[in-house]
A and B are shown apart, each in its own frame.
Chain A
Amino acid sequence: MTIARNDIRADEPSALRFEGISKSFFGVKVLKGVSFSVPAGHTLGLVGENGAGKSTLMNILGGNLLSDGGEMILAGAAYRPTAPQDARAAGIAFVHQELNLFSNLSLAENLFLTDFPTTGGLIRRSTINQRTTVLLDEVGLKLPPDTLVERLSAGERQLVEIAKALSIEPRLIILDEPTTSLTARETEHLFALLGRLRERGIALIYISHALQDVRRLCDDVVVLRDGEVVGQGARTELTVERMISLMVGREIAQLFPKRKATPADQAVLVVRGISQPGIVRDISLDVRAGEVVGIAGLMGSGRTELARILFGLDPMERGSIEINGVPIDTLSPRERVTAGLAFLTESRRDEGLCMDASIADNLTLAAAAKRTTGPAGWLDRQALHSDVDRIRRSVTLTATARNEQPVKTLSGGNQQKVVLAKWLLNEPRVFILDEPTRGIDVGAKFEVYSLINQLAERGAGVLMISSEIAELIGMCDRILVMSRGAIRDEIHRHEFDRERILKAALHDGELAGKGLET
Chain B
Amino acid sequence: MNRKPLLLLLNNAPIGLFLLVFAVFGSLSAKFLDPQNLLNILLQSSATSIVAIGMTFVLLTAGVDLSVGSVMFVAVAVAGKLIFHGQPMWVGFAAAIGVGMIAGAVNAFFITRLRIVAFIVTLAMLFVARGFGLWLTKTRAMNMPDDVTQLGSSQLLGIPGPVFVFVLICLVAHVVLTRTQFGRQIYAVGQDADAARKAGINVTGILFATYVICGFCAAASGLVSLTQTGAVSPSFGDKKEFIAIAATVLGGTSLFGGRGSVFPGAVLGAVLIQTVENGLVIINANPYVYPLVTSGIIFLAVLIDCLRGQLLAKLNRRRIYATA
Contacts and interface: CB of A to CB of B under 8 A. Distances in A.
Interface of A: 84-85, 88, 96, 100-105, 109, 113-116, 118, 121-123, 125, 277-281, 300-302, 305, 484-485
A398 B199 CA distance: 31
B187 A105 contact: yes
Nearest to B175: A122
Contacts of B320: 278-280, 300-302, 305, 484-485
B85 interface: no
Contacts of A113: 181, 184-185, 188, 199, 201
Contact of B200 (A103, A114, A279): A114
Contacts of A85: 200
Given A279-B320, A484-B321, A104 B184 contact: no
A102 B184 CA distance: 10
Interface stretch (B10-18, B190-198, B223-231, B292-300): B190-198
A85 B192 CA distance: 19
Contact of B321 (A84, A116, A118, A485): A485
Given A122-B180, A123-B181, A279-B320, A100 B200 contact: no
Contacts of B200: 84-85, 88, 114
B188 A105 contact: yes
Contacts of A305: 318, 320
A103 B191 contact: yes
A100 B175 contact: no
The 9 A-B residue pairs with the shortest CB-CB distance in the complex, in nearest-first order: A485-B320, A302-B320, A278-B319, A116-B181, A484-B321, A278-B323, A104-B258, A100-B195, A102-B188
Contacts of A101: 195
Contacts of B259: 104
Contacts of B323: 277-278
Contacts, number: 74
B199 to A, nearest CB: 6
Interface residues of B, number: 25
Interface string B294-322: 00000000000000000000000011111
Nearest to B322: A278
A100 B189 CA distance: 12
**Binding site of A, secondary structure by majority: helix, strand, loop or mixed?**
loop
Contacts of A109: 184
A84 B184 CA distance: 20
Contacts of A103: 191
A101 B258 CA distance: 13
A389 to B, nearest CB: 33
B180 A121 contact: yes
Given A113-B188, A485-B320, A100 B199 contact: yes
A121 B180 CA distance: 6
Contact of A118 (B175, B181, B195): B181
A102 B175 contact: no
B199 A114 contact: yes
Contacts of B199: 100, 113-114
A102 B198 CA distance: 12
B195 A102 contact: yes
A126 B323 CA distance: 41
B172 to A, nearest CB: 11
Nearest to A64: B198
Chain A CB count within 10 A is highest, among B181, B195, B200, B322, for B181
A468 B323 CA distance: 29
Contacts of A484: 320-321
A356 to B, nearest CB: 12
B179 interface: yes
A100 B258 CA distance: 15
A155 to B, nearest CB: 14
Contacts of A88: 200
Contact of A122 (B179, B195, B321): B179
Contacts of A96: 198
Interface string B143-179: 0000000000000000000000000000000010001
A125 to B, nearest CB: 8
A105 B259 CA distance: 10
B184 A123 contact: yes
